[in-house]
Amino acid sequence: MSKEAKLELDGKAHTLPVIVGSEGEKALDISSLRADTGCITLDESYGNTGSCTSRITFIDGEKGILRYRGIPIEELAEKSTFIEAAYLIIYGDLPTRDQLRQFSELFTEYQFLHEDMKYHFESFPSGAHPMAILSAMINAASCFDDELMHWRWGKANSQFNIYAAKLMSQVRTIAAYSYRKSRGLPLIYPKRAYKYTANFLHMMFSSPYEDFELRPEVVKALDLIFLLHADHEQNCSTSTVRMVASSQANLFASASAGVCALWGPLHGGANQAVIEMLEEIHREGDDGSKFITAAKDKGSGRKLMGFGHRVYKNYDPRAKIIKRACDDVLSKLHVTDPLLDIAKHLEEAALKDSYFVERKLYPNVDFYSGIIMRSLGIPVEMFPVIFAIGRMPGWIANYKEIMDDPKSRISRPRQIYIGRALNHYVPLEERK
Ligand code: SDX
């Protein structure tokens, strides 16, 4: 593998260093390109542009590989838990028993919101989307913490563990409260005795009279969903978190921005869009064939939601795991869901259809995840929120990677201007 690439421009030769990652990925380092050639590169929507080097997650889109700190997602899904995987993603190694206990204890210590946060919940209209509430309330929660309001790197490093745990813990409480408020239900406080995922289900579904029955298969299924969403290298929302982090804004502000990016139906909002799509197909008595025809027709404005991926040109390994879990969880809960049959039929038909095969469009993480969340009683508008709770460790780890890098600089991409040439102000009375 050559160590540099040669570029010829206007008869002049330039060399660009070649960077090779630990898994053999190759990149041309263009950091000196503008100084050497006066040119920048242009790559709309960053399909071919690396924004950073990172040690957190590795994806091989051609082979359908996903690893958190080198450990395959399949092993973590089978043997680990969300909190253990979160520790691995944030700190780089699987935790010892002691480290895991201390990490867990921080969640318990910081799981309550400031009581005055309740007034913020009052101000949202009942139809407010929980992702709008989540983003707003993550920032609102930071307003009750003087350290976050005066966040300065250097000082913040020593506090980082506390704020990482506080964010992960409180995002769960905020999410559950936003659900309860949207239904006009009294808020349910977290319990000291409950672990992370169980406490979230308790805050979501318990009543003042009796605790929600925490069936092990329900807790485990949701914990798996969180784990599978925990990180995914430089996707749209994680790149947003890194962009905001690079200005040295505080951790909560970065996560709040990440929630907004994740909400879009092309990204974390797709899990909600998939269920809405399957429900529409079910309502119309279609077996999916009509919808697939529409999804192939650019003019229809329809897409097969939950299908396709910028990086995976093979089956998203998370989708495989979730599809298996769907059958397992629904049978354990004695639930049958016609939407699962429709989803499986859609997948089977699409994977035989040249339109999808030629474009290497496969099911992604969002295609089956909504079916499991539905079976757990989670309302569809909360699906992107579940994604956001799961993605918190990844966002925190990416924020930490920037904060710990002494060479980190504010992210500031360039552009190529294609607007009007120089012109001048025209007084109102002279305008036609
Ligand atoms: C997530 O990046 C990540 O890692 C994200 C994520 C994570 O963990 O963070 O994995 C989570 O966001 C998963 C993706 C969820 N979104 C969806 O399921 C929405 C439906 N999918 C598409 O919108 C699309 O596939 C994207 C957004 C996922 C990827 O878009 P790209 O890479 O920009 O691809 P594209 O839109 O340029 O598509 C290439 C071709 C086009 O056709 P042609 O112009 O070549 O004829 O494929 C077609 C597209 O029209 N196409 C689809 C399609 N997805 C792509 N056609 C029909 N249905 C689809 N779902």
Ligand 1 centroid to residue 108 C-alpha, Å: 38
Cα–Cα nearest to 391, from 324, 304, 318, 321: 318
Residue ranges making up the domain that contains 255: 73-267+392-404
156 has a pLDDT exceeding 80: no
Ligand 1 centroid to residue 269 C-alpha, Å: 13
pLDDT tens readout for residues 306-364: 999 999 999 999 999 999 999 999 999 999 999 999 999 999 999 999 999 999 999 99
Domain CATH code at residue 322: 1.10.230.10
Q: Both 140 and 82 in a single domain?
A: yes
Q: At what angle do helices 196-205 and 216-228 cross, to 10 degrees?
A: 110
Q: Does 260 reside within a domain?
A: yes
Query: Across residues 63-76, what is the average pLDDT?
Result: 98
Q: Does 287 reside within a domain?
A: yes
Work out which ligand 1 atom sits closest to the CA atom of 237: 9
Of the listed ranges 8-12, 80-84, 106-110, 121-125, the one predicted with least confidence: 121-125
Q: Does 244 reside within a domain?
A: yes
* The pLDDT of residue 112: 94
**Which token pair is 76?**
């973590």
Q: Does 248 reside within a domain?
A: yes
Does residue 351 come out as left (phi exceeding 0), alpha (psi in the -120 to 50 range) or beta? alpha
* The pLDDT of residue 109: 96
Distance CA 163, CA 143 (A): 13
77 has a pLDDT exceeding 90: yes
- The last residue of one of the domains, among 19, 44, 66, is 66
**Contact 350 CB / ligand 1 (< 6 Å):** no
Nearest Cα residue to atom 39 of ligand 1: 359
Q: Both 236 and 129 in a single domain?
A: yes
CB 124 within 8 A of CB 179: no
Eight-state DSSP code of residue 113: P
pLDDT tens readout for residues 371-391: 999 999 999 999 999 999 999
**Contact 370 CB / ligand 1 (< 6 Å):** no
Nearest Cα residue to atom 43 of ligand 1: 359
* The pLDDT of residue 422: 98
Q: What residues are labeled active site?
A: 309, 366
Q: Both 8 and 106 in a single domain?
A: no
Domain CATH code at residue 47: 2.20.28
* The pLDDT of residue 257: 98
**Contact 360 CB / ligand 1 (< 6 Å):** no
* The pLDDT of residue 252: 98
CB atoms within 10 A of CB 147: 15
How does residue 1 score in pLDDT terms, banded at 50, 70 and 90? confident
Q: Does 380 reside within a domain?
A: no
Q: Does 346 reside within a domain?
A: yes
Ligand 1 centroid to residue 376 C-alpha, Å: 27
**Which token pair is 154?**
């250097």
Number of domains in the chain: 3
Ligand 1 centroid to residue 287 C-alpha, Å: 22
Q: Both 332 and 256 in a single domain?
A: no
Nearest Cα residue to atom 34 of ligand 1: 310
Q: Both 89 and 235 in a single domain?
A: yes
Q: Does 154 reside within a domain?
A: yes
Q: Does 141 reside within a domain?
A: yes
**Contact 9 CB / ligand 1 (< 6 Å):** no
How does residue 154 score in pLDDT terms, banded at 50, 70 and 90? confident
Q: Both 136 and 212 in a single domain?
A: yes
- Sorted by sequence, the CB contacts under 8 Å of residue 92 that are 6+ apart come out as 55, 69
Domain CATH code at residue 200: 1.10.580.10
**Contact 304 CB / ligand 1 (< 6 Å):** yes
**Contact 303 CB / ligand 1 (< 6 Å):** yes
The order of strands in the sheet holding 57-60 is 57-60, 65-68, 71-72
Mean predicted lDDT score pLDDT of the chain: 96
How many helices (DSSP H) and strands (DSSP E) are in the chain?
Answer: 19, 6
Cα–Cα nearest to 187, from 200, 203, 171: 203
Ligand 1 centroid to residue 26 C-alpha, Å: 24
Length of the chain: 432
Q: Both 23 and 147 in a single domain?
A: no
Q: Both 97 and 221 in a single domain?
A: yes
**Contact 400 CB / ligand 1 (< 6 Å):** no
